[in-house]
Structure 1
Amino acid sequence: MKRIALAFALATAFSVQAAEFTQVQADKSAINFTYKQMGVAVDGKFKRFSSQLTFDPAKPAAAKASFDVELASVDTGAPEGDDEVAGKPWFNTKAFPTAKFVSTSVKALGGNKYEVTGQLSIKGKTQDVVVPATFAAQGKSGVFDGSFTIRRADFSIGEGTWAKFDIVANDVLIKFRITANSK
């Protein structure tokens, strides 16, 4: 009887470890950003994005992720700010409706920490980015948290008179929390 109980316990533990997280829960996920305007931190978020994700904690190198963020869903906290940022000098959402991230590799760093390398495309410009992230399994769900900094000039975000960094800083911190269910 003890062997059966031990075998069951090991099988249960293995099945939790072997879970593959693939179904992103948009209502429990968020993509936020912080930038400085005249030296003051300003927070915002994107309300709509779609994603494809495959992540097995037992095989992190095989993980894949892609995210399409609807840039017109930007929420700066003020409707006039949203309209301004969606306009041509900033995101130019009519010509470039989405930003896209596609992972190219995932490296386990130990302690539920990972380094996700990929390509970020905004306004027709693509840059390689390295994104530090953590993962925490919570039953049949898993939560990915991370942040990374981009330079808005690399993507022509803020053109014309907004191309300078005296009013709006060049660095933008992107923060995310992605919740996904296992199969």
Structure 2
Amino acid sequence: MTSLFKNILRASAIVPVMAICAPAFAADQWQVKADDSDIEFAGTQLGADFEGEFNKFTAEITFSPDDLAGSKVSVLIDIASVDTENADRDSQIISADWFDVAQWPTAKFETKSFREIAPGQYEATADLTIRDVTKEVVLPFTLEIEGNEAEAEGTVTIKRTDFGVGQGQWSDTSQVGDDVTIRIDIDATRS
């Protein structure tokens, strides 16, 4: 009787601890709708603005506004899928002087934390890795969730030279500007 009573007490003590440790909400898994999603960028060349996009990327998204601590996003961008509507510029971008896709074919964006700054507005603190150089970035974004559909839009500006993009003569920012603005527009479905 005594050992049975002790086991019941132990079990009753474990249940509340498990309830406290378990999150009230679990973050949801999301599948990116590739045809409706974009990763775009903008920069300057010889003082003129230009834009481009990466046509191929994969993303693993676990996110819930009610469980930001349990949310995580990891994106791999295929650098060779770059498209600036200028074949010469595209071939230069993937060359050894720039992204060097032969050695580093992908860029990676991996979140470390999320913070809500207003209803429907968030900041993601993440590690961005380009050319094997990792820097922390903060991406502000808006998020709309309707049923099982979600759309996130955000913009962040980085300095290309921080990542070694533009070697040799191209490290001089007088011809190609240092600031590059990255814009995301991601549509996803809850899985």
Please, what TM-score do these two structures have when normalized by structure 2? 0.84
Matched, 1:33 2:41: yes
Following superposition, the deviation at residue 128 of structure 1 comes to 0.6
Q: Given that residues 21 and 142 in structure 1 are in contact (C-alpha distance below 8 angstroms), is that contact kept between their aligned partners in structure 2?
A: no
Quote the residue 1:7 is aligned against.
Answer: none
Q: Given that residues 21 and 53 in structure 1 are in contact (C-alpha distance below 8 angstroms), is that contact kept between their aligned partners in structure 2?
A: yes
* Equivalent residue letter for 1:33: F
1:93-142: CA deviations, max 9, x gaps? 00000000110001111220001001000001000111101101133210
1:73-107: CA deviations, max 9, x gaps? 11011112111111000110000000001100011
Pairing 1:1-183 to 2, within 5 Å after superposition:
20-183=28-191
Following superposition, the deviation at residue 56 of structure 1 comes to 1.2
CA distance in 1, matches of 2:168, 2:80: 20
Q: Given that residues 27 and 68 in structure 2 are in contact (C-alpha distance below 8 angstroms), is that contact kept between their aligned partners in structure 1?
A: no
Following superposition, the deviation at residue 164 of structure 1 comes to 0.3
CA distance in 2, matches of 1:18, 1:66: 18
SS in 2 for 1:145: strand
Q: Given that residues 19 and 182 in structure 1 are in contact (C-alpha distance below 8 angstroms), is that contact kept between their aligned partners in structure 2?
A: no
Following superposition, the deviation at residue 22 of structure 1 comes to 1.3
Following superposition, the deviation at residue 21 of structure 1 comes to 4.7
In the comparison of the two structures, how many residue pairs are matched? 167
Quote the residue 2:14 is aligned against.
Answer: none
SS in 2 for 1:66: strand
Report which of the two structures shows the higher radius of gyration computed on alpha carbons.
2
> Structure 1: which 4+ aligned runs deviate by more than 6 Å?
none
Q: Given that residues 31 and 190 in structure 2 are in contact (C-alpha distance below 8 angstroms), is that contact kept between their aligned partners in structure 1?
A: yes
Following superposition, the deviation at residue 20 of structure 1 comes to 2.6
Q: Given that residues 31 and 46 in structure 1 are in contact (C-alpha distance below 8 angstroms), is that contact kept between their aligned partners in structure 2?
A: yes
Q: Given that residues 20 and 57 in structure 1 are in contact (C-alpha distance below 8 angstroms), is that contact kept between their aligned partners in structure 2?
A: no
Where does the alignment leave 5 or more consecutive residues of structure 1 unmatched?
Answer: 1-16
Where does the alignment leave 5 or more consecutive residues of structure 2 unmatched?
Answer: 1-24
Give me the identity figure in percent.
Answer: 36
Q: Given that residues 55 and 63 in structure 1 are in contact (C-alpha distance below 8 angstroms), is that contact kept between their aligned partners in structure 2?
A: yes
Q: Given that residues 26 and 70 in structure 2 are in contact (C-alpha distance below 8 angstroms), is that contact kept between their aligned partners in structure 1?
A: no
SS in 2 for 1:154: helix
